[in-house]
Amino acid sequence: MAMLEIKDLEVYYGMIQAIKGISFEVNEGEVIALIGANGAGKTTTLHTISGLIAPKKGSVIFEGKDITRTPAHRIVSCGMAHVPEGRRVFASLSVFQNLKLGAYTRSSREEIEESLRTVYTRFPRLEERKNQLAGTLSGGEQQMLAMGRALMSRPRIILMDEPSMGLSPIFVNEIFDIIRQVSAGGTTVLLVEQNAKKALSIADRGYVLETGRIVLEGEAEKLLNDESVKKAYLGE
């Protein structure tokens, strides 16, 4: 059984249908890339999975449990974390305070401290800047903070929305290396990216979303070599 199953999802903004009956699944331990152009419905899909938007039809099944109507904060407690588009760090709080907020669903102080050590090991720059206000960090550092904050909830699956957006090439490489490490550490990853080449290079499988519909799916390597994908998304 898949860890995460999306079945016949339909999502509307008023009269406009953004998601048109999509179905896909994420198995435990996989890195799944959801790629597509701007406005294809990638972010809407993630928002629906994590409970920020209610679908008109369809269901979201996480580890055998229907979470379609579950409030977002409860979904975090179920073992799902969301790294939103645009990073969304709390600018007026310190790096340390941002990270502590990521653990708000947990009660064991020892376990939280252990998670904090793990995050600092994975992101040494965050430890160096732990007392610095998050709003003063560079874009790449803020992205690391958003990822670290999500990992503080000890998720079974992490949803990442455009982690490379607006970052310099050197930071993009660093962020994707970290996603690889997160996956190797046993966390399942659902990755939304406009940088299709980068996303497919670290994914096991991929889905291509076009105007609210999945038009192509398969192993990441096959999608990387697919002529229509190359033409539309890889600039080849």
Q: Cα–Cα distance between 37 and 193 in angstroms, integer?
A: 9
pLDDT, one tens digit per residue, over 212-235 is 999 999 999 999 999 888 888 877
Q: What is the 3-state secondary structure (H, E, C) of the chain?
A: CCCEEEEEEEEEECCEEEEEEEEEEECCCCEEEEECCCCCCHHHHHHHHCCCCCCCEEEEEECCEECCCCCHHHHHHHCEEEECCCCCCCCCCEHHHHHHHCCCCCCCHHHHHHHHHHHHHHCHHHHHCCCCEHHHCCHHHHHHHHHHHHHCCCCCEEEEECCCCCCCHHHHHHHHHHHHHHHHCCCEEEEEECCHHHHHHHCCEEEEEECCEEEEEEEHHHHHCCHHHHHHHCCC
| C-alpha to C-alpha distance for 173 and 182, rounded to whole angstroms | 14
Residue-range domain boundaries for the chain:
4-233
Measure the CA–CA gap between 97 and 142, rounded to whole angstroms. Answer: 13
pTM of this prediction?
Answer: 0.91
For CA atoms 31, 32, 37, 40, give the dihedral sign: negative
Query: For 59, phi and psi rounded to 5 degrees?
Result: -145, 155
Distance CA 133, CA 140 (A): 15
Query: What class is the 4-233 domain?
Result: alpha beta
Q: What is the pLDDT along the chain (236 residues), one digit of tens a residue?
A: 799 999 999 999 999 999 999 999 999 999 999 999 888 999 999 999 999 999 999 999 999 999 999 999 899 889 999 998 877 899 999 999 999 988 877 778 888 888 899 899 989 999 999 999 999 998 889 999 999 999 998 899 999 999 988 888 888 998 899 899 999 999 999 999 988 999 999 999 999 999 999 999 999 999 999 988 888 887 76
